[in-house]
A and B are shown apart, each in its own frame.
Chain A
Amino acid sequence: MTETYQMIVCGVGGQGILTITDVIVMAAQKKGLRVLGSEVHGMAQKGGSVVTNLKLGKELHSPVTPIGSCKVLVGLEQNETLRYMKYLEPEGTVITSKTVLYPISWKKDKNTAQLAREKIEENLAKYKARIMRIDAEGLAVEAGLALTQNIVLLGALSQVKDFPLSADELKEALKLRVPAKYLDQNIKAFELGISTVSNF
């Protein structure tokens, strides 16, 4: 690949955003690609909005992906997906979990929450991007570990056209990154992620 591949991973603190970012950069490094990314620190435990920017390629300079620049967005929570949609290229690809985590502002105002929740899909659809909505929670439970929702999405990511890392390359990195005792569930989650997008 000659062109720099830019992407974004977002969600709510604690969802495992940094974990899948780790797997991607480990696989990229193994493949001989340079990696450069930028991440938000300190919010992980506090339920704040978390985003990591990532660039894979040969000649990399700045670690931030500005508006309209990413080929793919991986979102672990739908409101966060919506928040970072503007960083995606007009024809980019979105892999988002259907999960919705209630922010404090919604807890205070149930009506706004209801309206905003109903409108998430409609609002996402306003962008030209290709959107894959995945029942990450359901598939993670099927894999035997609810915490593997991020890995389900990683599996789906491996199937995105032109994504520079193959499923096998990601899976190898995954084996090095996740705790050995939960490896089986993680691999299953990854596979379920792959098979769910073959339906799109």
Chain B
Amino acid sequence: MARVEELIANNESRVLCLGNEAIARGALEAGVQVFAAYPGTPSSEASTAIIATASKLGHYAEWSTNEKVAFETAYAASISGVRAMTACKHVGINVLADALFSAAYMGTTGGFVVLVADDPHCFSSQNEQDSRWLGVTAQIPILEPSNPQEAKNFTKLAFDISEKFETIMILRSTTRISHARSDVEFNEFESNFREGEFEKGMRYKCLPAIARANHPKLVAKMDEIKKWIPESGLSIIEGSGNNEFGVITSGISYAYLKDALSLLKKDLPILKLGMIAPLDEKTILEFARDKKNIIFIEEVNPYLEDRICALLLQNNITPKIHGKSSGITKRYHELNSRLVAEALQGIIGGELTSVTEIENTSEENNDFIPFRPPLFCPGCQHRAAFWELSKVVRKNKGIFASDIGCYSLDPWVTDTILCMGGGISMANGFARVITDKPIFAYIGDSTFFHTGLPALANAVYHKANITILVLDNRMTAMTGFQPNPTEVIDIVDVAKSFGVEYVVEFDPYDFENGKKTFEEALKHEGPTVIIMRKVCANEWWRQKRRRGEKIEVYTIDPETCISCGTCLVQYQCPAIHWSLDTNSKGKNYSVIDPSMCTGCSVCSQICPTGAITKAVD
């Protein structure tokens, strides 16, 4: 990944970086003055880069408590005439959508760009939501880059377009753009930071009468932008061929299409759209007018296909349509060049090397390839917390509503995971209809401040009989250890000030205490709040190693070990594995890998025979 020095170097150079870092550089070259975001894979590295360079370049950048807060912060700066930006993942845009839809009516004066990174294939997400529709529903122009270089260029361009038309801009990326690594050309830049100037008036008040007047203006603005696109150079027609076929595409799908055509050794006329909302109707109609077949290559939803088919119909152009409607590509998961080549082969012919043999061999081997899911890290306090909790939850046949974070990896007790902050509210709902079992909610510190606060207030207000467990590991660990308000606001104080009567805090490694606390909490009418506080083991361990400090690891005595598997099969500590040799009883025993052990001591507490002790040098 690119280093901070590379990201801020004010010169022409070709730098190896992630797509997200290219986007960050684009924003820096554009002179972004205010940046605010909440992390979310696959968008986080863009924010990390802009925040990491703030002290060097002098812009203001923050990790906000959630996407809506971030959007509003950046938006206020942009309507004060300075360049501002926010970034989120696709589901994060739902959180800020309330502000987005109304801000679209009001527009902006300083450039304002919203980066949204979609995640086709759910690599690290709960759905495959397609953000391109915001161009229609929220009426916001969207640029969609097809590689990291374009991602950088489009980010800069987005600020210019935003100011030219006084509109909010969306830059839409996907995992394969954001997490692509490439050599990207950086340019010189000039930061032109200035004092904000807010022009008072009626424009920025979304009162009904004003909104009613603003909406026709927004529609007209989108029409104006639509008419401008052909001269922007954002729509590119390339490839050659007769009028038999034409392909329309955008974003990463364009990249797959180019590789697919070279696999097939074919050439086709392609219309690549750089701006996907509003649609460049003039160029699309010119391109499609003489074509007998139009092929759509795009991921997930038939966004281009449905919208462009409507456009063609309105203009009495009736080519044969090949796309999601004819099933050439799926409406789910991501594409790749092979899938696109196969889709095209059925329409335009061409030769593809057969992979049947590879597929068959791979199929035969499938049963032998072990599932290797991501697990809690060695020493993770979520694992320790869940281990103790699982006994209490199971014993009482409790319902367990969890949330979004590292703790989503829990293999034992979780019943529901819905969305950020959904755990406490769902527990409230369960408690209204399931009264003979205890109801638990689980939430991390970052999610607690993100959307847990309103749910906690609601639970207190309506006296929900639930047990709320907050694991405070002092950072937003899942997305890369970002800081959050837990650094300065004590969650114990928050819960107490909200009026929660039973608030207890304990160390999740302290099992004896933990068990007592959980059982005690259940005796109280809820809501009760239990806070388990311990800095993220992963980060703690890494820092300690970096400082060269000694880590007191644990070891297992082969002869005392009875091979019960409590530590490695049930507790699933990744630092523990079975021995290759056997002990005097002829059994494989558990072994701790000292290079992975964090010295958390939990295995020694749960071992039924006391075989695990601190290693002696």
Which residues of A are at the interface with B, using a C-beta cutoff of 8 A?
12-13, 21, 25-26, 29, 34-43, 45-49, 52, 60-64, 66-69, 79-80, 82-83, 85-86, 88, 90, 101-108, 110, 113, 115-116, 119-120, 123, 126-127, 146
CB distance from B415 to the nearest CB of A (A): 21
Residues of A within 8 A of B14 (CB): 29
Taking a contact as CB atoms under 8 Å apart, the answer to whether B355 and A67 are in contact is yes
Chain A residues whose C-beta falls within 8 Å of the C-beta of B45 in the assembled complex: 41
Secondary structure at the A interface, as helix, strand, loop or mixed, is: mixed
Which among A88, A104, A119 has the greatest number of chain B C-beta atoms within 10 A?
Answer: A104
Verify B373–A38 contact, CB threshold 8 A: no
Chain B residues with Cβ under 8 A from A68's Cβ? Answer: 338, 353, 355, 358
Residues A82 and B338 in contact, CB atoms below 8 Å apart: no
B549-594, CB < 8 A from A: 565, 568-569, 572, 574, 577-578, 588
When the two chains form the complex, which single residue of A21, A37, A62, A85 contacts B337, counting CB atoms closer than 8 Å?
A62
Q: Flag the segment in B178-186, B285-293, B444-452 that touches A.
A: B178-186
A49 touches B16 (CB 8 A): no
Q: Is B316 an interface residue (CB 8 A)?
A: no
CB < 8 Å neighbour of A66 from B124, B339, B364, B370: B339
**Complex interface bits, B253-279 against A, C-beta within 8 A gives 1, otherwise 0:** 011101100000000000000000000
Q: Is B365 touching A34 in the complex (CB atoms < 8 A)? A: no
Interface hits, B183-219 → A, CB 8 Å: 183
Q: Which 9 interchain pairs have the tightest Cβ spacing? A: A66-B338, A48-B374, A46-B374, A62-B255, A63-B180, A61-B258, A86-B362, A68-B355, A103-B372
B368 contacts A123, C-beta separation under 8 Å = yes
Return the chain A residue nearest B572 by Cβ.
A104
Task: State whether A79 touches B478 (Cβ < 8 A).
Answer: no
The reply to whether B16 and A86 form a contact with Cβ atoms under 8 Å apart is no
- The complex places the Cα of A41 from the Cα of B46 at a distance, in Å, of 14
**A62-B256, A90-B357, A104-B375 known; A120 and B368 CB under 8 Å?**
yes
- Which chain A residues lie closer than 8 Å to B339 at the CB level? 66
Contact in complex: A63, B182 (CB < 8 Å): yes
Residues of A within 8 A of B176 (CB): 38, 62-64
| Pick from B337, B353, B376, B568: contact of A46, CB under 8 Å | B376
**Contact (Cβ within 8 A) A67 B359:** yes
Is B103's beta carbon under 8 Å from chain A? no
When distances are taken between beta carbons in the complex, the residues of chain B under 8 Å from A69 are: 338
- Between A and B, 5 residue pairs with Cβ closer than 8 Å are A25-B183, A40-B179, A63-B182, A67-B338, A123-B368
Tell me the complex Cα distance, A102–B569, Å. 11
Tell me, rounded to whole Å, the shortest Cβ–Cβ distance linking A18 to chain B.
9
| CB proximity to A under 8 Å, residues B227-259 | 252, 254-256, 258-259
In Å, the complex CA distance between A36 and B254 comes to 15
> Which residues on the A side are within 8 Å of B423 (C-beta)?
none
- Chain B residues positioned under 8 Å from A107 (CB to CB): 565, 568-569, 572, 577-578
Q: Which residues of B contact A101 (CB under 8 A)?
A: 577
User: With the chains together, A176 CA to B372 CA distance in Å?
Assistant: 32
Helix, strand, loop or mixed for chain B's interface?
mixed
Question: Using Cβ atoms and an 8 Å threshold, which residues of chain B touch A49?
Answer: 372
Tell me the complex Cα distance, A45–B373, Å.
12
Q: Taking beta carbons and an 8 Å cutoff, which residues of B are in contact with A? A: 14, 16, 41-42, 45, 123-124, 147, 176, 179-183, 252, 254-256, 258-259, 336-339, 353, 355, 357-359, 361-362, 364-365, 368-377, 409, 478-480, 538, 565, 568-569, 572, 574, 577-578, 588, 595
* B42 lies within 8 A of A41 (CB): yes
Q: Is the CB–CB distance between B595 and A146 below 8 Å?
A: yes
Contacts of A82 in B (CB 8 A): 365, 368-369
| Distance A8 CA – B135 CA, assembled complex (angstroms) | 36
Q: Which residues of A contact B180 (CB under 8 A)?
A: 36-38, 63
Residue of A nearest to B341 (CB): A66
Whether A35 pairs with B368 at a CB distance below 8 angstroms is no
What is the chain B residue whose CB lies nearest that of A13?
B374
The answer for the CA separation of A26 and B409 in the assembled complex, in Å, is: 35
Partner pick for A41 among B16, B124, B355, B538, CB 8 A cutoff: B124
Given contacts A61-B258, A79-B370, 20 further A-B contacts (CB under 8 A): A29-B16, A36-B180, A37-B180, A38-B181, A39-B181, A41-B41, A48-B373, A48-B374, A61-B256, A61-B337, A62-B252, A62-B337, A63-B176, A69-B338, A79-B372, A86-B361, A105-B372, A107-B577, A126-B364, A146-B595
Chain B contacts for A67, CB-based, 8 A: 338, 355, 358-359
Q: Shortest beta-carbon distance, A109 to chain B, in Å?
A: 9
Which among B365, B375, B578 has the greatest number of chain A C-beta atoms within 10 A?
B365
